[in-house]
Amino acid sequence: MLVAGLLLLGAIGEMIFARTRIPDVIWLVAAGIVAGPVFGIVTPDLLVPGVPYFGAIALTVILSGGAFRLRLSEVAAAAPRGIALGLAGYLFSVIAVLVFLWLATVLGYVEERSLFIWLMVGSIVGGTSSVVIMPTMALGNAPPVVARILEVESAATDALSVVIAMVLLDFLASGSADLSRPMLALATQLGIGIAAGIIAAAVFLPVIPKVRELPHGYTLFLAVMLALYALTEAGNGNGAMAVLTASLLLGNAASIVPRLFPGARPEEFIASQTTAVMQDQMSFLIKSFFFFLIGLMFPTNPRLIIMGAVAVAFLFIFRIPAVMLVLRGRGFAPKERRLVDVSIPRGLAAGVLATLPLQYGIAGMENLAPALFALIVFSILAFAIGYYIVNRMEEPGVARAYGVDAGSNQGRGTDSYRDDPNEPTPGEPRR
């Protein structure tokens, strides 16, 4: 009955999202809160034992699906700005968490912990959620260039959060978390992960034309990614980076292979419709389960709830200078910058990572997952409300240059955005 309810709620949530632009994950989280903390219909103990196994599968699906669908040619114009925003936003978010935890410690709300613990917490919630951002941008009315930048940012920070948080977790679990070794160890783990991903992609590439049309082609791809994750972790590498690298290469094989091997047929390396459908269905199942679990484990302790809400305020305040640093002077209108300012939702990657410190046996992490789940819920609510308010704001067209996709009309919503004064208005014959 629980699984049936989750699937039904997830499907209804997507239909409501298509009509109202309210992110569907809100309904899943709300259902978890009602079923758990409010009425006690479902206890977290029913689902929590499966989280360690589900978490690894969820991370693999998140990274492989996101990277596989990422088309380098389509996001080339927005990628530099989106990646810059991702790096700046991630850094400022980690700083926001450090400042918040320091103040909470000074005020006596949080026990003092090592800098590495604080950095780990910051890395978990440092990135925005592609699971929330991408559907909103697809069905919303954000300017196309802004939408592409936010999509690239969320995809990049999903991966960045997973990679850095997993490295810090390994340090803390092994007891070797001192400041003299992390950079070398980080480079080593990432290097092994990238190398493993490249090798796995090279081995799997010749198989793609033979399996792309098979009914279980996606199943084979997912099995390879799961095995790659496990084997890379067993080899002291970063499994998340291995999956990310391999999926990115395989997803763009149609454009990469013909350059390496002239005469190769690119259409043989394009993912089939069945693969796309299976990826969507798997992502739907993962999303439905985990956001319900986030609601189910929403804290009942008022202190944790308040701390989650205040932490979101810190994330929003510290995001503003990051956005200004990247977008200021680039011709973006104030309303567009505000859309980027309010795009602070944390989601699936942060939720999965929040459950791992306790599983790794790190002391004093009993309240971390509920507190971070509260943060995730409030960040999604803040994004939904902020996005709705900003979209309703009226702003006259302002002449500007996006600095991306030069020579195209992408992102020009009104005539005031035309670079050429002789360019005709819609319906006017070209002179």
Of 25, 5, 248, 268, which Cα lies nearest the Cα of 136? Answer: 25
Does residue 191 sit within a domain? no
Does residue 429 sit within a domain? no
> If DSSP states are collapsed to H, E and C, what string results for the chain?
CHHHHHHHHHHHHHHHHHHHCCCCHHHHHHHHHHHHHHCCCCCHHHCHHHHHHHHHHHHHHHHHHHHHHCCCCCCCCCHHHHHHHHHHHHHHHHHHHHHHHHHHHHCCCCCCCCHHHHHHHHHHCCCCCHHHHHHHHHHCCCCHHHHHHHHHHHHHHHHHHHHHHHHHHHHHHHCCCCCCCHHHHHHHHHHHHHHHHHHHHHHHHHHHHHHCCCCCHHHHHHHHHHHHHHHHHHCCCCHHHHHHHHHHHHHCHHHHHHHHCCCCCHHHHCCCHHHHHHHHHHHHHHHHHHHHHHHHCCCCCHHHHHHHHHHHHHHHHHHHHHHHHHHCCCCCCHHHHHHHHCCCCCCHHHHHHHCHHHHCCCCCCCCHHHHHHHHHHHHHHHHHHHHHHHHHCCCCCCCCCCCCCCCCCCCCCCHHHCCCCCCCCCCCCCC
Whole-angstrom Cα distance, residue 108 to residue 374?
A: 20
CA 17 to chain centre: 19
- The two tokens of residue 262 are 């002239």
Does residue 212 sit within a domain? no
What predicted TM-score, i.e. pTM, was given to this entire model?
0.74
Range of the domain at 361: 22-182+283-392
Does residue 362 sit within a domain? yes
pLDDT in tens, the chain (431 residues): 877 888 888 888 778 777 776 777 888 888 888 888 888 888 777 776 777 677 778 778 877 776 676 666 655 666 788 888 999 999 999 999 999 999 999 998 888 888 889 999 999 999 998 778 877 776 666 788 888 888 888 877 887 888 888 888 888 887 654 545 556 766 787 788 889 999 998 898 888 888 777 778 888 888 999 999 899 988 888 787 788 788 888 888 888 877 777 777 777 777 777 777 887 788 788 878 878 888 888 888 899 999 999 999 999 999 999 999 998 877 788 888 999 999 999 988 888 888 888 888 888 888 888 899 999 999 999 998 898 888 777 655 443 433 444 333 333 333 333 334 344 444 444 43
Structural Rg of the chain based on CA atoms: 22
Does residue 402 sit within a domain? no
Domain count for the chain, please give it: 1
| Contact partners, residue 262, CB within 8 Å, separation at least 6 | none
Of 351, 348, 353, which Cα lies nearest the Cα of 166? Answer: 353
Q: What pLDDT score does 126 carry?
A: 94
Length of the chain: 431
Whole-angstrom Cα distance, residue 158 to residue 9?
A: 25
- The two tokens of residue 399 are 């002449």
Does residue 220 sit within a domain? no
| Contact partners, residue 166, CB within 8 Å, separation at least 6 | 238, 239, 240, 353, 356
pLDDT of 137-161, one tens digit each?
766 667 888 888 888 888 778 878 8
Does residue 380 sit within a domain? yes
Of 342, 425, 354, 370, which Cα lies nearest the Cα of 122? Answer: 354
pLDDT of 85-107, one tens digit each?
999 999 999 999 999 999 999 99
Does residue 348 sit within a domain? yes
Q: Is the dihedral of CA 363, 367, 373, 374 positive or negative?
A: negative
- CATH number of the domain at 177, please: 1.20.1530.20
Q: What pLDDT score does 66 carry?
A: 67
pLDDT of 161-171, one tens digit each?
888 888 888 88
Would you call 231 exposed, middle or buried from its count of C-beta atoms within 10 A (0-12, 13-18, 19+)?
middle
Of 201, 207, 285, 277, which Cα lies nearest the Cα of 241? Answer: 201
Whole-angstrom Cα distance, residue 178 to residue 413?
A: 52
Of 309, 298, 377, 301, which Cα lies nearest the Cα of 37? Answer: 298
| Contact partners, residue 82, CB within 8 Å, separation at least 6 | 75, 148, 149, 150, 151, 152, 153, 156
pLDDT of 348-377, one tens digit each?
888 888 888 888 888 888 888 889 999 999
Whole-angstrom Cα distance, residue 277 to residue 271?
A: 10
Tell me if 314 sits within 8 A of 103, measured CB to CB: no
